[in-house]
Structure 1
Amino acid sequence: MKRLKLILLACLLVLLASCSFKGYKFNGASVDYSKTKTIQIADFPIRSSYVWGPMGPLFNNRLKDQFADHTKLIQVKRNGDMKIEGEITQYTQRNKAVTSEGTSAQTELSMTVNVRFTNTKNHAEDFEKQFTATASYETTRSLNSVQEELVMQMTKDLVDQIFNATVANW
Structure 2
Amino acid sequence: MILKKSKISVVALLSISMLLLSGCYTFRGASLDPNLKTIQIQNFAFQTAGGPANLSLTFNEKIKEYFQRNTSLKMTNSNPDLMFEGAITAFDVEAQAPTANDKGGLNRLTIRIQVKFTNAKDENKNYDQEFSFYQDFPQTQTITAAQGTLIPKILDQIVLDIFNKTAGEW
Say whether the fold is shared (TM-score over 0.5).
yes
What CA distance in whole angstroms lies between the structure 2 residues aligned with 1:89 and 1:71?
27
Aligned residues: 165
Of Structure 1 and Structure 2, the greater strand share is in: 2
What CA distance in whole angstroms lies between the structure 2 residues aligned with 1:51 and 1:139?
18
Aligned residue for 1:25, secondary structure, equals strand
Deviation at 1:56, TM superposition (A): 1.2
Distance 1:87 1:150, change over 3 A: same
Aligned residue for 1:30, secondary structure, equals strand
Which residue does the alignment assign to 2:52? 52
Contact map agreement 1:45 1:86 (CA 8 A) in 2: yes
Query: What aligned pairs does 1:69-80 form with structure 2 within 5 A after superposition?
Result: 69-80=69-80
**Deviations, residues 9-41 of structure 1 (Å, cap 9, x unaligned):** xx899x99xx948636242442112x1100011
Structure 1 outlier segments of 4+, above 6 Å: none
Identity of aligned residues (%): 28
Deviation at 1:140, TM superposition (A): 1.2
Query: What aligned pairs does 1:94-113 form with structure 2 within 5 A after superposition?
Result: 94-113=94-113
Instruction: Indicate the structure (1 or 2) with the bigger Cα radius of gyration.
Output: 2
> Alpha carbon RMSD of aligned pairs, Å?
2.9
Contact map agreement 2:125 2:169 (CA 8 A) in 1: no
Gaps of 5+ in 1: none
Tell which deviates more after alignment, 89-98 or 47-56.
47-56
Contact map agreement 2:24 2:31 (CA 8 A) in 1: yes
TM-score norm. by structure 1 comes to 0.84
Gaps of 5+ in 2: none
